[in-house]
């Protein structure tokens, strides 16, 4: 691992090469995601399925894997970018839509809507999730900004962790007495892309697009914040405005993803962290690479889940947790955990 | 580049939260010169520098650049005229010298504007002026304290501003590196005509390297003017509450303060 660290931190890979490699990998992953599944299919079935034929079971299952692949691709990139933004804006290498309570806040509102108001449509979920993500982000922000030194990275992480735990217990308390819906809440809470339809993708797509556009425009500004608030202001930026801009982007991306897939953990933590080791800390490259690698990771986790638990399948949220947890421990144990 | 812009304050009061640390500061920074702000701890030196560089919003009064309030100017326009190096800035992990210095060009870039040859020229000249060109591919983490401070100054120079404010740029540096940084300030002032404003702790170095001194006490300007005018026994006694003797620095012929304590007098 030590060797890996020094090798990575040397930062020796040209960004365009890394982005090219991840793009090629993405094409391979998409092909795998369409061709590998619980049901074994032949090449001819795949081609027919892609053409839109659903005449046989094999062709139909290929056709069903298409929206699933698309959702994994979108969700993975959204979580990757969202994590990269949160790590940059909080200057905290452990920041992640999951750890800062944004995903769980999104689930909280969805669960409340489901349990108390009987809302069960995807179109409701999207708004609830984004509203929940934004409310939690704001709440965590306000809590950590109390005190004269403002929202320091440490206070941010602590406030996020405390809020996450509080909200999780609240979700439990809401769901436990309701046996009738506990199952559906639970399956949504684990996080997966298995239930993807073109309908649900269409619903979250506008939010992802706006979030992506906001991320694109905030990348360079985040490069100034990395040098400290005072230097950023000296370079002519308003730190508050950048923070709001960046949070809006991160919340839209993470919230919309959570609405469609449930809370998927660790992608937003692992992906930007590894990408930073590979491509360095310029947010313009970092966010692009995080989007590609996030998609790759989620597609790989989804395919792995289908292979590991044949003839059933594991939800992608479980697989990413299995990959992510050891990684999280590695990051924390790294000797040079410093503020970004 | 010639210094054309003048920075001044009018009835300036500022501080943190509701507490005012500065009370009615009226100063005009001499254009094209090196000015040092001196005073005891907590007298408002840094607060004054931070308010003049727009990090703090004044409670009352104004900071004026050529007669216009800087707190009302477009932030990026101001960043092309007025540069700032805060006290002990922190570089993010893994940033290279080249990357750090090039971020000084930020005020000149719009949303999707491309890197231009003007940017290259500015960065090359900043690296050359601070003697850091050979460090360009190194990690900032790996550098010595003196090198790191020169790299940060290079970033501020890449911003190409007529006015440069530095908050204790020599803190935590050994005496050789302190002299190196202050010599660099003189070179910038002479070669580029940059107006330089420093907060300095070392009175003798302040007297030696500054054209103009501002002595502060309890949030007010106690005295200002040439080192010869400000650095006198009664002023040093009033500002720092310290018995002292002022002699002529045998090297630079500027005033030199010798502190007198309760012990160790021959």
- Ordered domains of chain B (ranges, CATH): 7-259 (3.40.50.300)
* Chain A residues within an 8 Å CB radius of B17: 148
DSSP strand E in B59-180: where?
Answer: 60-65, 68-69, 82-85, 163-167
Q: For residue B231, what are the CA distances in angstroms to B34, B48, B225?
A: 16, 20, 9
A226 and chain B in contact, CB less than 8 A: yes
Considering the domain boundaries, does residue A207 fall inside one?
yes
Q: For residue A277, what are the CA distances in angstroms to A93, B86, B94?
A: 11, 28, 8
Facing B103 at nearest CB: one of A223, A338, A339 = A223
Residue of B nearest to A12 (CA): B137
Section B32-42 average pLDDT:
94
Beta carbons of B85 and A11 less than 8 Å apart: no
Q: Are A156 and A100 in contact (CB under 8 A)?
A: yes
Facing B93 at nearest CB: one of A223, A235, A338 = A338
pLDDT at A100 over 90: no
Q: State residue B81 phi and psi, 5-degree precision.
A: -110, -30
Considering the domain boundaries, does residue A6 fall inside one?
yes
pLDDT at A9 over 90: no
**CB atoms closer than 10 angstroms to residue B173:** 18
Asked which of A104-113, A181-190, B46-55, B177-186 is least confident by mean pLDDT, the reply is A181-190
Beta carbons of B75 and A233 less than 8 Å apart: yes
SS3 B246: strand
Considering the domain boundaries, does residue A217 fall inside one?
yes
A290: Cβ contacts below 8 Å, ≥ 6 apart: A77, A80, A81, A83, A84, A271, A272, A275
Tokens 């050979």 sit at which residue?
B134
d(CA A266, CA A191): 12
CA distance B257 to chain A (A): 33
Facing A233 at nearest CB: one of B55, B94, B95 = B55
* pLDDT value, residue A3: 38
Considering the domain boundaries, does residue A321 fall inside one?
yes
- List residues of B whose CB lies inside 8 A of any A CB: 16-17, 50, 53-55, 75-80, 83-86, 89-96, 99-100, 103-104, 106-107, 109, 111, 139, 155-156, 159
What is the residue range of A185's domain? Answer: 2-333
Beta-carbon contacts below 8 Å between A and B: 87
Q: Mean pLDDT across chain A, nearest whole number? A: 84
**CB atoms closer than 10 angstroms to residue B147:** 19
If one compares A55 and B30, the residue with the highest pLDDT of the two is B30
CA distance B158 to chain A (A): 11
Tokens 């500004």 sit at which residue?
A221
Beta carbons of B75 and A280 less than 8 Å apart: no
Percent of chain A with pLDDT over 90: 35
* pLDDT value, residue A301: 93
Q: Mean pLDDT across chain B, nearest whole number? A: 92
Considering the domain boundaries, does residue A158 fall inside one?
yes
- The kind and range of the H/E element at B132 are none
A228 and chain B in contact, CB less than 8 A: yes
A273 and chain B in contact, CB less than 8 A: no
CA distance A98 to chain B (A): 23
Number of domains in chain A: 1
* pLDDT value, residue B34: 97
Number of alpha carbons in the 13 Å side-chain half-sphere of residue B206: 27
Considering the domain boundaries, does residue A320 fall inside one?
yes
Q: What is the pTM of this model?
A: 0.86
ipTM > 0.85 (yes/no): yes
B174: Cβ contacts below 8 Å, ≥ 6 apart: B145, B146
* pLDDT value, residue B184: 93
If one compares A8 and A270, the residue with the highest pLDDT of the two is A270
* pLDDT value, residue A309: 80
d(CA A32, CA A299): 9
Mutation for B interface: A12, A236, A335, most B CBs within 10 A: A236
Considering the domain boundaries, does residue A205 fall inside one?
yes
d(CA A307, CA B43): 69
- What band does A338 get if pLDDT is binned at 50, 70 and 90? low
A340 and chain B in contact, CB less than 8 A: yes
Q: Read out DSSP for B144-155?
A: -HHHHHHHHHHH
Considering the domain boundaries, does residue A196 fall inside one?
yes
d(CA A213, CA A85): 13
Nearest CA to B26 out of B70, B57, B60 is that of B60
The per-residue pLDDT for range B238-266, each reduced to its tens digit, is 999 999 999 999 999 999 999 999 998 88
Mutation for A interface: B46, B106, B152, most A CBs within 10 A: B106
CATH number at residue A47: 1.10.3470.10
A326: Cβ contacts below 8 Å, ≥ 6 apart: none
């Amino acid at each position: 691992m030590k060797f890996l660290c020094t090798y990575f931190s040397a930062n020796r890979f040209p960004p365009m090469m890394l982005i090219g490699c991840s793009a090629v990998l993405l094409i391979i992953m998409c092909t795998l995601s369409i061709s590998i599944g619980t049901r074994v299919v032949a090449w001819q079935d795949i081609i027919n399925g892609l053409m839109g034929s659903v005449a046989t079971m094999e062709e139909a299952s290929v056709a069903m894997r298409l929206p699933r692949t698309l959702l994994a691709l979108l969700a993975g990139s959204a979580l990757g970018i969202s994590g990269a933004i949160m790590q940059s804006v909080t200057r905290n290498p452990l920041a992640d839509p999951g750890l800062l309570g944004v995903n769980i806040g999104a689930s909280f509102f969805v669960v409340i809507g489901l349990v108390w108001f009987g809302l069960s449509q995807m179109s409701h979920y999207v708004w609830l999730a984004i509203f929940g993500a934004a409310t939690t982000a704001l709440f965590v922000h306000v809590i950590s900004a109390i005190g004269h030194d403002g929202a320091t990275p440490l206070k941010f992480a602590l406030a996020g962790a405390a809020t996450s735990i509080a909200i999780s217990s609240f979700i439990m308390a809401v769901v436990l007495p309701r046996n009738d819906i506990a199952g559906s809440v639970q399956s949504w809470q684990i996080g997966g892309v298995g239930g993807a339809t073109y309908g649900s993708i269409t619903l979250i797509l506008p939010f992802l697009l706006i979030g992506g556009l906001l991320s694109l425009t905030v990348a360079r500004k985040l490069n100034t914040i990395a040098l400290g608030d005072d230097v950023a202001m000296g370079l002519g930026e308003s730190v508050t405005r950048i923070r709001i801009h960046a949070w809006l982007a991160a919340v839209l991306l993470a919230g919309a993803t959570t609405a469609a897939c449930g809370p998927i953990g660790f992608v937003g933590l692992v992906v930007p962290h590894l990408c930073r080791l590979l491509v360095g800390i310029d947010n313009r490259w970092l966010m692009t690479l995080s989007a590609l690698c996030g998609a790759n990771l989620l597609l790989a986790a989804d395919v792995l889940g289908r292979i590991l638990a044949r003839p059933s399948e594991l939800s992608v949220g479980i697989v990413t947790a299995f990959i992510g947890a050891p990684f999280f421990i590695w990051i924390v144990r790294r000797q040079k955990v410093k503020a970004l | 580049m010639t210094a054309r812009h003048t920075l001044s304050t009018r009835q300036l009061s500022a501080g943190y939260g509701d507490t005012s640390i500065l009370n009615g500061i009226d100063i005009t920074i001499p254009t094209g010169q090196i000015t040092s702000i001196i005073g005891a701890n907590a007298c408002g030196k840094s607060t004054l520098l931070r308010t003049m560089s727009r990090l703090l919003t004044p409670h009352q009064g104004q900071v004026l650049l050529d007669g216009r309030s800087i707190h009302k100017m477009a932030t990026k326009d101001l960043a092309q005229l007025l540069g700032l190096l805060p006290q002990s800035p922190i570089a993010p992990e893994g940033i290279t010298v080249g990357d750090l210095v090039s971020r000084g060009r930020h005020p000149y870039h719009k949303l999707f504007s491309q890197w231009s040859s003007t940017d290259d020229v500015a960065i090359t000249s900043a690296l050359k002026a601070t003697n850091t060109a050979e460090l360009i591919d190194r990690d900032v983490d790996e550098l010595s304290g003196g090198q790191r401070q020169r790299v940060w100054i290079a970033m501020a120079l890449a911003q190409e501003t007529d006015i440069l404010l530095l908050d204790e740029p020599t803190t935590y540096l050994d005496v050789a590196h302190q002299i190196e940084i202050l010599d660099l300030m003189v070179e910038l002032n002479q070669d580029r005509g940059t107006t330089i404003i420093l907060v300095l702790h070392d009175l003798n170095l302040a007297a030696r390297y500054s054209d103009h001194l501002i002595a502060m006490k309890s949030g007010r300007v106690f005295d200002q003017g040439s080192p010869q005018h400000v650095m006198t026994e009664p002023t040093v006694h009033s500002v720092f509450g310290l018995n002292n003797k002022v002699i002529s620095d045998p090297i630079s012929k500027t005033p030199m303060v010798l502190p007198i304590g309760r012990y160790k007098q021959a």
